[in-house]
Amino acid sequence: MHISEGILPLNWALVWSLIAIPFVAWGLYELKKLSAEDPAFKPLVGLITAVVFIISCMPIPVPTAGTCSHPCGTGIAGILVGPAISILIAAAALLIQALFLAHGGLSTWGADIVSMGVMGSFAGFLTFKALRTIRVNIAVSAFMAGLFADWATYLTTSVELASGLKGDSEFMPLFWKIAIAFVPTQLPLGILEGAMTAGMVTLLYRKRPDLLVKMRVLKPEEVGI
């Protein structure tokens, strides 16, 4: 999801930035509202931001795709604080990485927010909620959420790269080439991210189920509260 500076043409960089803006604004609105309800919410968001930042700082170069492959962390964030705040967390992590670590770029910040923040967060959140609705085990639900959040991020990155780089060529052949280029790294990394997500959510479930209820991840009756 860290598309390098200058990889996308300016017009496509602008398109993805315009798509990202309302989602980031939504995240800011939700953060302000939830922080007013509970002053302890902001420190929690800061902690999760640090987790996402660290997880998504482990780059594996994919030269054939013009970018790097990473775990994302937005599956965890999407489950714990919902997609709106998770998008904001991803935006903050990506901005710091672009400014200080040369991971991604400022012109491609919007595209990276859409792939990792928007698609990753929604994929993780909706997968977890859907599986819990049909009473799937919490560990399995969290694993699948982390897995799909990771894969959704890189499918979206493939769309962004193919759209910006295709020129006069057809979109689909280039999209499949880029998507397949991610497979050797992202297939195992997606499984790893699923395991990390399951591990973190399961640990909270065992040690602090009250936090999961407070964050509306689970209902009181699901943890016997």
Domain presence at residue 4: no
Domain presence at residue 51: yes
Are 46 and 163 in contact by the 8 Å Cβ rule? The answer is no
- Is residue 66 scored above 80 in pLDDT? no
Are 82 and 117 in contact by the 8 Å Cβ rule? The answer is no
User: What CATH number should be reported for the domain holding residue 98?
Assistant: 1.10.1760.20
Q: What is the dihedral of CA 133, 139, 145, 151, to 10 degrees?
A: -140
Task: Report the Cα–Cα distance between both ends of the chain, in Å, rounded.
Answer: 39
CA atoms within 13 A on the CB side of 184: 10
Domain presence at residue 172: yes
Q: What is the pLDDT of residues 139-148, one digit of tens each?
A: 999 999 999 9
Domain presence at residue 1: no
Domain presence at residue 203: yes
Choose the weakest-confidence range: 101-105, 130-134, 154-158, 191-195: 101-105
* Full residue range of the structural domain in which residue 117 is found: 10-219
Q: What per-residue string of b and e applies to 176-205 under the rule 16 or more CB within 10 Å gives b?
A: eebbebbeebbeebbeebbebbbebbeebb
Domain presence at residue 224: no
Cβ-based burial of 209 (10 A; exposed 0-12, middle 13-18, buried ≥19): middle
Q: Helix 74-100 to helix 41-55 angle, to the nearest 10 degrees?
A: 70
Domains: count for the chain: 1
| Separation of alpha carbons 104 and 83, rounded Å | 22
Q: Which residue has the higher pLDDT, 115 or 214?
A: 115
Domain presence at residue 148: yes
pTM for the model: 0.91
Average per-residue pLDDT in the chain?
89
* pLDDT, position 189: 84
* pLDDT, position 40: 87
Domain presence at residue 164: yes
**DSSP annotation of 4:** P
- Is residue 225 scored above 80 in pLDDT? no
Nearest Cα residue to 114 out of 145, 83, 143, 141: 83
How many other C-beta atoms lie within 10 A of the C-beta of residue 26?
Answer: 16
Q: Which residue has the higher pLDDT, 62 or 99?
A: 99
